[in-house]
Amino acid sequence: MKKYHYSDGTNSYGPYTLEELSLKNIGPDTLIWTEELITWKKAQEIPELGSILKSATSFPPTIPQPENIHSETSHPPFSSSSTPNYQRPPKTYLIETILTTIFCCWPLGIPAIIYASRVEKKFYAGDILGAETDSANAKKWMLINIGACILIWIAYFGIFGLAIFAGLSDGF
């Protein structure tokens, strides 16, 4: 069954079924989110909410009881601004992290891939700050991976370069 979340611009509430949502007295400008939606949308933009909006008498959402308020782990958090973010998600660095993991140091690339894979999911769930944080962490781990790779190659060529040089100098 489809579940809906709604927001008052600061907090998000839900999940609710369509019947439960009809009791919340939402208006056409109330922000709604479901797992099928990419971003938060106004209720008037969602066709299946038309019957609920026609019967609504006041537009601001009712203040839910404390049991209806969920922690960030159980529902998509709303962005820190009071308006929905219709922008593109932050850069994921997913391709870059995969390539650096393959060609560089894979133990350091794993955290980069994990952070990079979570960026869009968090963004489209409404957690803009979390998406930006994961994007920054993916970039940080990618750069750490590249730096470690460069240091390993410098050490590799330094050790074997000295060995080759020592072998050539003994021959004369």
Residue with tokens 């797992």: 35
CA 25, 26, 28 angle in degrees (round to 5)? 140
Q: What is the mean pLDDT of residues 102-124?
A: 90
pLDDT value of position 81: 44
- Give strand ranges (E) for the chain: 4-7, 12-16, 31-33, 41-42
Q: What is the mean pLDDT of residues 113-131?
A: 90
d(CA 69, CA 72) in angstroms, rounded, equals 10
Tokens for 132, please give them. 């930006």
Domain spans of the chain, in order of start: 4-68, 94-170
Tokens for 33, please give them. 């989110």
User: What's this model's pTM, rounded to 2 decimal places?
Assistant: 0.48
Whether the per-residue pLDDT at 79 is higher than 50: the answer is: no
pLDDT value of position 51: 81
pLDDT value of position 68: 45
Number of Cβ within 10 Å of residue 40's Cβ equals 25
d(CA 141, CA 51) in angstroms, rounded, equals 49
